[in-house]
Structure 1
Amino acid sequence: MMTTFETSFLSVLREGLAWLGWSLPESALEAMARYARMVWEWNERLNLTAIVEPEAMAARHFVDSLTALQAFREPAWPPAPAEWPPCRLADVGTGAGFPGLVLKLAWPALELTLIESTVKKARFLEAAVHRLGLEGITILARRAEEVGQDPAHRERYDGTIARAVAELPVLLEYLLPLVRIGGIAVAMKGAEVEEEIAAAHRAMDLLGGRLRNRCDLAWPPYLSPRTLLVFEKIAPTPAKYPRRPGIPEKRPLR
């Protein structure tokens, strides 16, 4: 039986999906409601999020995460992500699993790696994956800079993504080393991105990427504007990048 939390959550989630035009099966929506309630249950001891009301969580974490589907959809693909083909995706700095775990629930064929350096949050992700019965997910309690130098992960992904992690020159040093040539790195940003894009040209050149697309998204009335910046990997990332943990943030590639 649905709790009051889950009922309130689902009402806003369905409204947001209708606005965005995505079609998800009821089983995926119910799984998202269970996941949201688990975030709420664990939040008091782990401080996973400052957003705890079910309606706000649905809007600002789940609907927001689902907007990232727009960056990956090919023209011939249907508006039902459950029918999309496999894709190997890494979510860098995922925290409580946003957006990666939400995208996995919508797009089951994803082969997902969740990268979260805070061990307690990584343990939460393991518990959530187990409770939801999900497969095809790897959880790494490591720094993105370390993963980017690991041959098992370096330039192995079709796509990488990050939401509210770092300014763009720093973020690209986390994301692009993980992407195969021809793959994409997606940065989920707010509406004002011109200055960040201008500051990131040197990072793009050094790391083997270029800005392929900018998606300024239409939004439900209760959410702030969102821009998806999609970078294509066009050349190998030099071996010295990413630099040692902490260096990209201290000395961004400007």
Structure 2
Amino acid sequence: MTNSLPEMAEIWQQTLNWQPSDHQQAQFQRLYHLILEGNRQLNLTRITDPQEFWEKHLWDSLRGIALKGEFITSLKEGASVIDIGTGAGFPGIPVTIIAPNCTITLMDSTRKKITFIETVLTELALTNAKTLVARAEEIGQQSKHRQAYDVALIRAVGTASVCAEYTLPLLKQGGLAIIYRGNWTEDETTGLENAVKQLGGVIEAIEKFTTPLSQSIRHCVYLRKVATTAVQFPRATGVPTQKPL
């Protein structure tokens, strides 16, 4: 098979105290191939080199769901998870692969991307995931989705305060939002604290780490939902981006 993904068992073990089973490794490999194929029709990702794909899509996706070097406990207990703006399926599909007890909703506003993801779920026989074509501002006001999730993942979408406004309304009391970032500054923390307070959350942790192959700096911001989000949030489509809290 051309373009085989590296296995990286030692790095998985050292960084996340975990490694994929043979079955999960095969699913990662198949996912990689499906994305390379899908890239011909859709602009899914610029990252196609096997090592880079492993680091920036697989490892990075799973590093986000680990706090202090271990996967967050709610994933073992069958949490209800939503990935907002999943795009080509990251971080949601790798999380679906490693957390079979959880129900994962992969959400994107682009129908073509969701159609592609549905093919992937079928090909990988992932029955614990479902898809949703929607915008975060809309579903945040729908009773079916509002306060319905234990964990909300959001990567490569808007500023941190926008991410907070997209995620916190969807979380149950005690739920966790995980915001994936590249760089992060103290000023961003201050700005985010203000937004999070209005949305019924607190910043639980900000973790800085380097990626294992390219030594790039990454951050994950963890928000805990501690109070009910006020009814006016999330605001109408486009408003969170134009007028961040």
Shorter-chain TM-score bucket reads over 0.9
Of 77, 82, 88, the match for 1:85: 77
CA contact (8 A) 1:5 1:54 kept: yes
CA contact (8 A) 2:55 2:211 kept: no
CA contact (8 A) 1:10 1:33 kept: no
Instruction: Tell me by how many angstroms 1:74 deviates.
Output: 4.9
Matched residue, 2:55: 59
Instruction: Tell me by how many angstroms 1:15 deviates.
Output: 5.2
CA contact (8 A) 1:16 1:63 kept: no
SS at match of 1:217: strand
State the percentage of identical aligned residues: 32
For residues 96 and 185 of structure 2, what CA distance do their matches in structure 1 show?
Answer: 27
Does residue 207 of structure 2 align to residue 209 of structure 1? no
Matches within 5 A, 1:60-75: 60-71=56-67, 73-74=71-72
Instruction: Tell me by how many angstroms 1:176 deviates.
Output: 0.4
Instruction: Tell me by how many angstroms 1:138 deviates.
Output: 1.7
For residues 13 and 71 of structure 2, what CA distance do their matches in structure 1 show?
Answer: 17
Q: Encode CA deviations 1:60-103: one digit per residue, 9 max, x unaligned.
A: 1111111023137357x9xxx7xx22111111111011001101
Unaligned runs of 5+ in 1: none
Q: Which runs of 4+ in 1 moved over 4 A?
A: none
Q: TM-score, normalised by structure 1?
A: 0.90
For residues 119 and 74 of structure 1, what CA distance do their matches in structure 2 show?
Answer: 30
Matched residue, 2:31: 35
Does residue 98 of structure 2 align to residue 106 of structure 1? yes
CA contact (8 A) 1:90 1:115 kept: yes
Of 12, 15, 33, the match for 1:17: 12
Matched residue, 1:156: 148
Unaligned runs of 5+ in 2: none
Instruction: Tell me by how many angstroms 1:113 deviates.
Output: 0.6
Instruction: Tell me by how many angstroms 1:191 deviates.
Output: 3.9
CA contact (8 A) 2:65 2:178 kept: no
Give the AA of the match of 2:62. L
SS at match of 1:5: coil
Matched residue, 1:129: 121
Please, what is the CA RMSD of the aligned residues? 1.8
Q: Could you tell which deviates more after superposition, 101-110 or 211-220?
A: 211-220
Q: Encode CA deviations 1:6-59: one digit per residue, 9 max, x unaligned.
A: 2xx134x44541441322211001101101110110112110001112221111
Of 41, 44, 54, the match for 2:40: 44
